[in-house]
Amino acid sequence: MSIAQKHGTAIIVISFLLALMLTVIPLPDWAEEIRPHWVMIVLIYWSMALPQRVSVGVGWSMGLLLDVANDAVLGQHALALALVAFLTNNLHQRLRVFPQSQQALVVFVFCVIYSLIILWIKGITGTAPSVWLIVTPSFTTAIIWPLAFVALRHARRFYRVS
């Protein structure tokens, strides 16, 4: 692994920036409530495909950027995303051989864990919304996952990111 050439860092960075943009793009209220966790989708994909490059550290940094972009308490998304990256890294060999429907199921579970951490921190800081409102994006994230997976895999193969 250590001898392997690093390719396509730019692609990884661009994909994360695109995910951040999708996170702050203005949407009507009903769509805002079901906006998928874009950054998490990209993070899960890269830490599954390239666990030696994208892992907890990247998850933490992207989480901090997400905190600033969302104007949330600094560290809440960082903690949640770092945990998701850790879980994906641990399970990446199993995740890779799963069919896409099963992957989506695992992504859904990760989303719920992520949402509950966010809900927990929001609860401590006194701004907790209802549980259902915070869990609904998990469904859309799981539905979007197969599409995002195919797109990101295509990008990885096309630009030979390794």
Partner 1 sequence: MVLDHRFQATDNFRSALSIVVDPIRYIVNLPSDAIDWASGSFVSHSTLEDQNLTLKTQNQLLKAKLQKYASLKAENANLRGLLKSAKKHDEKLERVLVTEILSVDLDPFRRKFVINKGTSHDVYIGQPIIGALGVMGKVVHVGPLSSTALVITDASHSIPVQINRNGVRAIAVGMPKNNQLELIHQPNNADIMVDDLLVTSGLGCVFPNGYPVGRIIKVETNPSLPFAKITVQPTAHLDRDREALLVWPTFGGNKQSDCKGPKEEEQ
Print the binding letters for residues 47-76 with partner 1: x by CB under 8 A, - otherwise: -----------------xx--xxxxxxxxx
Contact (Cβ atoms closer than 8 angstroms) between residue 112 and residue 145: no
* 116 part of the interface to partner 1, by CB under 8 A: no
Q: Considering CB under 8 A, how many residues would be counted as binding partner 1?
A: 32
Instruction: Out of 83, 121, 148, 161, point to the residue binding partner 1 (CB under 8 A).
Output: 121
Six-digit token pair at 36?
């998928």
For partner 1, the closer CB: 74 or 150: 74
For partner 1, the closer CB: 30 or 93: 30
* 105 part of the interface to partner 1, by CB under 8 A: no
Six-digit token pair at 144?
């979007």
Instruction: For the segment 12-41, give every residue that binds partner 1 (CB under 8 A).
Output: 17, 20-21, 23-27, 29, 32-33, 35
The minimum distance between CB 133 and partner 1, in angstroms, equals: 7
* Look-up of token digits 């906006």: 35
* 99 part of the interface to partner 1, by CB under 8 A: no
Question: Interface residues with partner 1 (CB under 8 A)?
Answer: 17, 20-21, 23-27, 29, 32-33, 35, 64-65, 68-76, 79, 121-122, 125-127, 129, 133-134
